[in-house]
Chains A and B, each alone.
Chain A
Amino acid sequence: MSHHKHGNNQGNGGSEPVRVGVYTCYCGSNIAAMVDVEAVAKFAEKLPGVVVSRAYKYMCSDPGQELIAQDIKEHKLNRIVVAACSPLLHEHTFRTATGRAGLNPYFLHMVSIREHASWVHDDKANSTEKAKEILQGAVARVALHKALEKAKVPVNPDVLVVGGGIAGIHAALTLANANKKVILVERDATIGGHMAKFDKTFPTLDCAACILTPKMSAVRAHPNITLKTWAEVTKVEGYVGNFKVQIKQKPRYINEDLCVGCMECIKACVFKEPKFSDEFNQGLGKRKPVYIPFPQAVPPVVLVDPATCLKLKTGKCKQTCVEACGERKAFDFEQKETFEEVQVGTVIVATGFKTFDAGRQALYGYGVYPEVYTALEIERLINASGPTGGHLVTKKGEAPKSVAIIHCVGSRDEHTNKWCSRVCCMYSLKLAHMIKAHTTAQVYNFYIDMRAAGKGYEEFYNRVLEEGVQFIRGRVAEVTDWAMTPDEEGRLVVRAEDTLAGFVRRIPADMVVLATGLEPHKDAQDVRRMFNMSCSGEGFFLERHPKLAPVNTPTDGIFLAGACQGPKDIPDTVAQAGAAAAEALALIDRGHVEIEPNTAYVVEEECSGCKTCLSMCPYTAITRDEVKKKAVINPAMCKGCGTCVAACPSGSIRQNLFEDEQVLVEIEEVLTRAA
């Protein structure tokens, strides 16, 4: 096979002989501890075509990169191999360094002797041998590399923000203020997300509505923001800079442009009293079939619930609502789902989280005992605009004398969710404070550990301690209504081992609050697939790198903000939303993106026009020239997967950077024992 011959006559333009520079990194002791770096560098000296081989403490540092640049000039190197960490981490760094020194960046190849050798093995001799062999593969491969150019594609400056919680709101406003056009899609009837349901925010006890609602109205008023509520993204096509997105508008049965939010129709509805479970109030309140999620909803537009509206369900209704609307004629019972296509250059995914279903912790009695609540329900009960007008009362309408707050419900547990949900400690402290402020109740917090790691959080914890809230360290075993003493009669009893005192306690309570954790949305997997993202093990969207690219995803042009990436409090969410907006801005203001050149191409002379490749391409980048009877690949549409290359029976489709010869020689050399 022709790929056996390598090492010379394959230079920069094809005429010069190959001159390889090999750079092996210590990565401090990260590599050096388990790989004999000096031995690897020495071994490389003898490989065909190698002119220089050096070992350096931190190749990715400035002096490390400078080392390569100087050698390129001094030793007329035309091939560079860096044996260091994963190419997914630093290939870009070294390509840039190579390019700066005047050499085509695609004459560089990187191998990972850190993630794939030193960090995963515990025998230094074997690990060193492995490092040598993968380096040997790279030296052989890079000899066959060609000069390649990145294609430049213009970036559409418009941005799609998916999710209208505080993350989406902040990202959208940041971009809109930078004069970019933003389309904000929210699947609920209003923006605001979870934050709109909170009464106060920790640790400052700001009124959530006071800081959120101005931002919500700013979104609606902003000339650069197109707000689409009660809408969902259903399809995403294209690539960085040029996404084509399909948005589904669900029917509100109200013409959004005609409704002024006077709410006369709600008053006039044939249902005299609200009768149906109110989602915004966690089902603790009631609403009518025509309703507005909450008075400050944005947009301030009512909607009709087809499951409960008599007109939509039976067709038989006096339609007093339509009458009340009068001349505005905002009602439209004929409305159907509509689909719209928009073009954007970048996407910010800010789809948020859902709270843990407390019913899954069967021993805590949620859904069994009426006085067991989730934290979000209590949030609504103490909220002045909530179903009880801000009075914290039991279902019987009495103020509780004793309230137990159970931390870590669903969190930090092998059986439910392993992770710490990060906000429950703090919101439990906040609720403890709020309950004390609203009632004279004794408040007990059952916790495993207190985690109060944010700015001003520990101070807030101390404040709540001083307010006389009781803290009991121990995971609660069960909540029952089984009384042992007269004091427990007719109340709930929380049973837990107090791990500081060393005995089991029984605390009678009139109300139990479950501090439920945060989970990915049920349909997070669908969203992930739509946007071509990855999820981490627990199902939250995966960032490209936790430290270096915390808001990026593996797909260029798609960014993450807020709790869809992992549990987060409001300050962190807002900070991340700003970061995501900045990343999008950086792309937009550059005006273009560079597309990696690892695309496929057809060698026309060898193509038999068999059409095997046509069905392989998911992007319809391949067509058949019916005159020439040859396959044609559109490089702008090719994403560089190489599936057609593997399928071509005549070998006439090749892939830049993954040519058969290059892959085969690499395979052969990594399997050849290092001398």
Chain B
Amino acid sequence: MQHKDKTPQAPEAWKPRLLAIFCNWCTYTAADLAGVSRMKYADNVRIVRVMCSGRVDPQFVLDAFARGADGVLIGGCHPGDCHYIEGNYKALRRSELLKRMLADMGIEPKRYRLEWISASEGDKVQRVINEMVTEIKALGPLDLPGRAKAWDEEVAELEGELKEKKGECANV
């Protein structure tokens, strides 16, 4: 307390925020197993449960990035193991399309990951989350609203230039 005045307030260190959407049957259960087995992993992850990875609407991922997630992880059952027969295959197809879209939006590929994690792979939950957090730390904050603002400014600038040019043309 007495040092408060002497030490300047250090800027709050940036901690990446990772959103995980896990299917109820395999990956959420694996996350439970990681817990029961006391496997420690990075505490910047927030897990949301859905019944099947097939329920994951790409909108969920985009929304998460828009709301401040620096990374999004989807977890489903291994191919062939889906509790709903083939929901995970549909998740995979959607995921491949989503990846292209994310690239177009300037979101680095390492910020989005789809992983097959079975109910017995608590260690994989631990590994994947830790890996992703490390990778995202290296990338730095996503700050999608900030990026959007920069893009808007860029567009505005370009539009401004265009107007100026038009004006010049009109003068001639």
Q: Which residues of B contact A536 (CB under 8 A)?
A: 120
Task: Determine whether the beta carbon of A618 is less than 8 Å from that of B86.
Answer: yes
- Is residue A93 within 8 Å, beta carbon to beta carbon, of the partner chain? no
Task: Determine whether the beta carbon of B120 is less than 8 Å from that of A642.
Answer: no
Task: Determine whether the beta carbon of B69 is less than 8 Å from that of A671.
Answer: yes
Task: Determine whether the beta carbon of A532 is less than 8 Å from that of B50.
Answer: no
Q: Which residues of B contact A641 (CB under 8 A)?
A: 51-52, 54-55, 83-84, 87
CA distance A137 to B46 in the complex (A): 10
Mask of B101-131 contacts with A, CB within 8 angstroms, 1/0: 0000000000000000011110000100000
Most chain B CB neighbours (cut-off 10 Å) among A86, A87, A529, A643: A643
Q: Contacts A646-B57, A672-B67 given; indicate if A640 touches B51 (C-beta within 8 A).
A: yes
- Is residue B36 within 8 Å, beta carbon to beta carbon, of the partner chain? yes
Q: Contacts A112-B35, A115-B35 given; indicate if A667 touches B40 (C-beta within 8 A).
A: no
Task: Determine whether the beta carbon of A534 is less than 8 Å from that of B119.
Answer: yes
Task: Determine whether the beta carbon of B32 is less than 8 Å from that of A112.
Answer: yes
CA distance A114 to B47 in the complex (A): 13
CA distance A230 to B87 in the complex (A): 34
CA distance A12 to B39 in the complex (A): 40
Task: Determine whether the beta carbon of A671 is less than 8 Å from that of B55.
Answer: no
* Interface window among A178-186, A336-344, A658-666: A658-666
Task: Determine whether the beta carbon of A133 is less than 8 Å from that of B46.
Answer: yes
- Is residue B133 within 8 Å, beta carbon to beta carbon, of the partner chain? no
- Is residue A88 within 8 Å, beta carbon to beta carbon, of the partner chain? yes
Q: Which residues of A contact B85 (CB under 8 A)?
A: 618-619
Task: Determine whether the beta carbon of B120 is less than 8 Å from that of A655.
Answer: no
Mask of A413-427 contacts with B, CB within 8 angstroms, 1/0: 000000000000000
- Is residue B80 within 8 Å, beta carbon to beta carbon, of the partner chain? yes
Cross-chain contact of A660 among B43, B59, B64 (Cβ < 8 A): B59
Cross-chain contact of B48 among A114, A123, A542, A670 (Cβ < 8 A): A670
Distance in angstroms from B108 CB to nearest chain A CB is 18
Task: Determine whether the beta carbon of B50 is less than 8 Å from that of A116.
Answer: no
Segment 394-434 of A: residues with Cβ below 8 Å from B:
none
Residue of B whose beta carbon sits closest to that of A536: B120
Q: Contacts A120-B34, A618-B84, A646-B94 given; indicate if A663 touches B120 (C-beta within 8 A).
A: no
CA distance A89 to B24 in the complex (A): 12
CA distance A402 to B46 in the complex (A): 63
CA distance A112 to B54 in the complex (A): 22
CA distance A670 to B45 in the complex (A): 9
Task: Determine whether the beta carbon of A668 is less than 8 Å from that of B40.
Answer: no
Distance in angstroms from B83 CB to nearest chain A CB is 6
Residue of A whose beta carbon sits closest to that of B15: A126
- Is residue A639 within 8 Å, beta carbon to beta carbon, of the partner chain? yes
Interface residues on A, range: 35 or more
Cross-chain contact of A116 among B17, B31, B81, B83 (Cβ < 8 A): B31
Cross-chain contact of B41 among A120, A639, A672 (Cβ < 8 A): A120
Q: Contacts A534-B25, A663-B48, A671-B69 given; indicate if A88 touches B32 (C-beta within 8 A).
A: yes
Q: Which residues of B contact A655 (CB under 8 A)?
A: 51, 55
Cross-chain contact of A121 among B43, B52, B59 (Cβ < 8 A): B43
CA distance A156 to B29 in the complex (A): 29
- Is residue A376 within 8 Å, beta carbon to beta carbon, of the partner chain? no
Cross-chain contact of B47 among A116, A122, A658 (Cβ < 8 A): A116
- Is residue A270 within 8 Å, beta carbon to beta carbon, of the partner chain? no
Segment 2-50 of B: residues with Cβ below 8 Å from A:
17, 19, 21, 24-26, 28-29, 31-32, 34-36, 38-41, 43, 46-50
User: How many residues in B have their beta carbons less than 8 Å from beta carbons of A?
Assistant: 51
Task: Determine whether the beta carbon of A123 is less than 8 Å from that of B46.
Answer: no
Task: Determine whether the beta carbon of B46 is less than 8 Å from that of A130.
Answer: yes
Distance in angstroms from A566 CB to nearest chain B CB is 12
Mask of A116-145 contacts with B, CB within 8 angstroms, 1/0: 110111110011001001100100000000
- Is residue A565 within 8 Å, beta carbon to beta carbon, of the partner chain? no
CA distance A285 to B118 in the complex (A): 43
Q: Contacts A133-B46, A542-B119, A655-B55 given; indicate if A667 touches B67 (C-beta within 8 A).
A: yes
Q: Which residues of A contact B165 (CB under 8 A)?
A: none
Q: Contacts A114-B35, A646-B94 given; indicate if A671 touches B51 (C-beta within 8 A).
A: no
Mask of A91-131 contacts with B, CB within 8 angstroms, 1/0: 00000000000000000000010111101111100110010
Q: Which residues of B contact A88 (CB under 8 A)?
A: 24, 28-29, 32
CA distance A112 to B52 in the complex (A): 18
Residue of A whose beta carbon sits closest to that of B119: A534
Q: Contacts A120-B40, A618-B86, A641-B87 given; indicate if A598 touches B47 (C-beta within 8 A).
A: no
- Is residue A387 within 8 Å, beta carbon to beta carbon, of the partner chain? no
Task: Determine whether the beta carbon of B36 is less than 8 Å from that of A115.
Answer: yes
Distance in angstroms from A113 CB to nearest chain B CB is 10
Task: Determine whether the beta carbon of B35 is less than 8 Å from that of A646.
Answer: no
CA distance A647 to B97 in the complex (A): 13
Residue of A whose beta carbon sits closest to that of B72: A667
- Is residue B63 within 8 Å, beta carbon to beta carbon, of the partner chain? yes
CA distance A666 to B51 in the complex (A): 15
- Is residue B151 within 8 Å, beta carbon to beta carbon, of the partner chain? no
CA distance A555 to B87 in the complex (A): 16
Task: Determine whether the beta carbon of B54 is less than 8 Å from that of A643.
Answer: yes
Distance in angstroms from B165 CB to nearest chain A CB is 37
Task: Determine whether the beta carbon of B55 is less than 8 Å from that of A535.
Answer: no
- Is residue B56 within 8 Å, beta carbon to beta carbon, of the partner chain? yes
- Is residue A554 within 8 Å, beta carbon to beta carbon, of the partner chain? yes
- Is residue B90 within 8 Å, beta carbon to beta carbon, of the partner chain? yes
Task: Determine whether the beta carbon of B67 is less than 8 Å from that of A554.
Answer: no
Distance in angstroms from B34 CB to nearest chain A CB is 6
12 pairs from A and B in contact (CB 8 Å cutoff): A86-B35, A88-B28, A126-B43, A534-B26, A534-B118, A536-B120, A542-B120, A616-B54, A645-B57, A671-B19, A671-B67, A671-B69
The 7 lowest CB-CB distance pairs between A and B, nearest first, are A115-B35, A642-B55, A643-B54, A641-B84, A641-B52, A670-B46, A618-B85
Q: Which residues of B contact A (CB under 8 A)?
A: 17, 19, 21, 24-26, 28-29, 31-32, 34-36, 38-41, 43, 46-52, 54-60, 63-64, 67-69, 80-81, 83-87, 90, 94, 118-121, 126
16 more A-B contacts (CB under 8 A) besides A121-B41, A641-B83? A115-B35, A115-B36, A127-B43, A534-B118, A554-B25, A598-B51, A618-B87, A641-B54, A641-B55, A643-B87, A646-B58, A646-B90, A660-B59, A666-B48, A668-B67, A671-B19
